[in-house]
Structure 1
């Protein structure tokens, strides 16, 4: 029986990952995560600690999402339900990490508005990074929900 999240009890492999609802989100997650990384890295890193945390989260999630995409694309998961539960767990963890990084980035950006002013380029780059960071968080949350629906069908 086919659903909007792919076939019930089935984890896609190969090119099929670009045709199912949760797995089609890998590419937007990678693109938006890369944008967040490049925007934060191109700004003035002040204060250092929250910005370093944001960069660490984006690098970790970018690398892990890419590896997760490769695992599914190569078919290394052998269609086991443990992979479906690991998919839900990873995307929930990534969503939580991105949410914490987004909140820290937003609070840092509000502090930069006071120091630099709204017309400064670094402030504008940080605002763009905040927007993409929250959008990436939303992508990971949606991926988690649809992966959980697929996991329940196993």
Structure 2
């Protein structure tokens, strides 16, 4: 007699707090939010590269929040979700890496013409660069482990 079982593609509910790639959601929130806050609390000058950094940090924060809640409520149980999970996190890595490089470059340029009154802003920019690279690393780890899980689910 054959039994039908439902295949669970990705963890849902409380299981996401114990599975390896999904445990990175919380640190991604924290460090991505810190990038957003730190860049927003400084002078956004020059507009072009720092506008990209703000876009990436807000975009990834909002999409990671939506992604997290879709995992939490269990809306991720179709066969396409493992590939979407790996794809989104690789996209986030590319976005965050480009934003981190731009932010580091702008911070280096600001450090060359440093005055006493701009020292606090310069330190905030340095903190934003560090948090941006940490967020990039977290998204990279999440992407690698999601790709491994995707290959296992095939």
TM-score, scaled to structure 2: 0.91
Task: State whether residues 81 and 151 of structure 1, in contact with CA within 8 Å, keep that contact through their aligned partners in structure 2.
Answer: no
Tell me the number of residue pairs that the alignment of Structure 1 and Structure 2 aligns.
146
State the Cα distance separating 1:49 from its structure 2 match: 1.0
CA–CA distance in structure 1, aligned partners of residues 96 and 128 of structure 2: 12
CA–CA distance in structure 1, aligned partners of residues 113 and 79 of structure 2: 51
2:111 is matched with: 113
Task: State whether residues 9 and 81 of structure 2, in contact with CA within 8 Å, keep that contact through their aligned partners in structure 1.
Answer: no
RMSD: 1.6
In the TM superposition, 1:59-78 aligns within 5 A as 59-78=58-77
Q: Would you say 1:102 and 2:74 are equivalent positions?
A: no
1:128 is matched with: 127
Task: State whether residues 22 and 146 of structure 1, in contact with CA within 8 Å, keep that contact through their aligned partners in structure 2.
Answer: yes
1:5 is matched with: none
2:146 is matched with: 147
Q: Would you say 1:48 and 2:44 are equivalent positions?
A: no
CA–CA distance in structure 1, aligned partners of residues 100 and 50 of structure 2: 10
Q: Any unmatched runs of 5+ in structure 2? A: 1-7
TM-score, scaled to structure 1: 0.91
What's the secondary structure of 2:57's corresponding residue? Answer: helix
Task: State whether residues 9 and 76 of structure 2, in contact with CA within 8 Å, keep that contact through their aligned partners in structure 1.
Answer: no
- Which of the two has higher C-alpha Rg? 2
Runs of 4+ in 1 over 4 A off after TM superposition: none
CA–CA distance in structure 1, aligned partners of residues 79 and 148 of structure 2: 12
